[in-house]
C-alpha cells in the first residue's frame, strides 16, 4: 500500500515526505543553533550536540519507517473498537502489528537525513568507527525503539478498559517523548536528569545513548543501563497488555468508530 500511494498520488506523497523531513530538521537545527550560539550545552560541545541530534533523527526515521500505521499508536485501534478487524485477518495479531506500519518507499526520508548528519558529526568529532562501534550503535537504536514501543503499549492498556478516554493515550505518550528527548540534559540538576532516566524515559531517547557512544556515559551509569531499562519496560508492557487483551476478548467493546477502515 505504501508503494501504491506513491505511484497513485506521487505529488501528495512527495509533499508529505518533504514536510515530515522539514519538520524534523527544524527541531534538530533549533537545538543545534542554540548550541552553536552558546558554544555548546551543559558541557557538550557543538559537535557532540550535532551527534546527539543525528541519533535522534535516526530514531525518528526508524519510527516512521516501521510505525507509520497505528501499530505503535495502538490505543487508537483498541479505543475505536477496531481490533476485531485484525482478529478476522488470516495473519496472526503479532504479524499484523509488526508489519502494519512498514512504509519502505515513503518513510525513509528522515532515516536518510539521520545517516547524513551522523556521518558529518562523526567526521567533525574524529570518532574512530570500528565494527564494534557500529554494532553498539545498532544495539542502542534497537533498545531505544523497544522503549518507545513498550511505553506506548504499556499506557495503551488503559484503552481496553476506557476506550473513549484513552483512545489517544499512546499518541500523547509518544509526542511527549519527542518534545523532551531532543534537548540535551547535560548541565541540568540531578532532580531533572534522574526522573527522565527512570520514571520517564525521555533521557534514554537520544541524550544517554549518544553520550555512551561518545564514551561518556552520564551520571556514572553503565552503558548497559538503557538495555536493562528496555527489557524491564518490555516485560511490564507484555504482562499488562496481555491482561488487557484478555479482558477485551472476554468483554468486547461497546464502541466502534468506522473511519480508518473500509466498511
Q: What are the residue ranges in the chain where pLDDT is below 70?
A: 1, 259-263
pLDDT score, position 261? 54
Residues 6+ apart with CB under 8 A from 180: 196, 200, 202
CA distances from 149 to 190, 213, 252 (A): 26, 22, 24
Nearest to 140 by CA among 239, 222, 67: 222
pLDDT score, position 263? 47
CA distances from 190 to 38, 96, 111, 196 (A): 22, 41, 32, 10
Question: Over the stretch 226-241, which tens digit does the pLDDT of each residue have?
Answer: 999 999 999 999 999 9
Cell numbers 558541557 correspond to what residue?
43
CA pair distance 198, 147, nearest whole angstrom: 12
pLDDT score, position 75? 92
Give the DSSP letter string of 149-218. Answer: HHHHHHHHTHHHH-TTTTTTHHHHHHHHHHHHHTS--TTS-HHHHTTTTTTS-GGGTTHHHHHHHTT--G
Cα angle: 146, vertex 235, 59; to 5 degrees: 5
Nearest to 218 by CA among 186, 180, 192: 186
pLDDT score, position 114? 92
pLDDT score, position 2? 76
pTM of the predicted model over 0.85: yes
Amino acid at each position: 500500500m505504501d508503494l501504491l500511494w506513491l505511484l497513485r498520488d506521487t505529488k501528495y506523497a512527495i509533499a508529505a515526505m518533504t514536510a515530515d523531513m522539514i519538520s524534523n530538521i527544524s527541531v534538530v537545527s533549533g537545538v543545534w543553533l542554540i548550541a552553536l550560539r552558546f558554544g555548546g550545552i551543559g558541557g557538550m560541545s557543538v559537535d557532540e550536540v550535532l551527534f546527539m541530534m543525528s541519533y535522534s533523527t535516526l530514531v525518528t526515521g526508524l519510527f516512521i519507517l516501521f510505525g507509520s500505521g497505528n501499530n505503535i499508536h495502538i490505543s487508537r485501534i483498541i479505543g475505536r473498537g477496531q481490533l476485531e478487524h485484525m482478529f478476522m485477518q488470516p495473519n496472526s495479531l503479532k504479524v499484523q502489528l509488526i508489519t502494519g506500519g512498514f512504509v519502505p518507499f515513503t518513510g525513509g526520508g528522515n532515516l536518510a537525513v539521520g545517516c547524513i548528519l551522523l556521518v558529518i558529526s562523526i567526521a567533525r568529532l574524529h570518532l574512530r568507527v570500528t565494527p564494534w562501534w557500529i554494532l553498539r550503535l545498532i544495539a542502542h537504536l534497537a533498545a531505544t525503539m523497544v522503549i518507545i514501543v513498550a511505553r506506548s503499549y504499556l499506557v495503551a492498556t488503559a484503552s481496553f478498559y476506557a476506550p473513549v478516554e484513552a483512545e489517544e493515550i499512546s499518541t500523547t505518550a509518544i509526542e511527549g517523548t519527542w518534545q523532551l528527548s531532543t534537548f540535551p540534559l547535560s548541565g541540568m540538576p540531578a532532580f531533572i536528569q534522574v526522573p527522565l532516566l527512570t520514571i520517564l524515559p525521555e533521557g534514554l531517547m537520544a541524550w544517554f545513548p549518544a553520550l555512551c557512544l561518545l564514551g561518556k556515559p552520564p551520571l556514572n551509569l553503565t552503558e548497559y543501563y538503557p538495555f536493562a531499562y528496555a527489557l524491564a519496560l518490555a516485560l511490564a508492557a507484555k504482562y499488562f497488555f496481555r491482561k488487557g487483551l484478555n479482558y477485551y476478548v472476554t468483554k468486547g467493546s461497546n464502541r466502534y468508530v468506522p473511519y480508518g477502515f473500509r466498511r
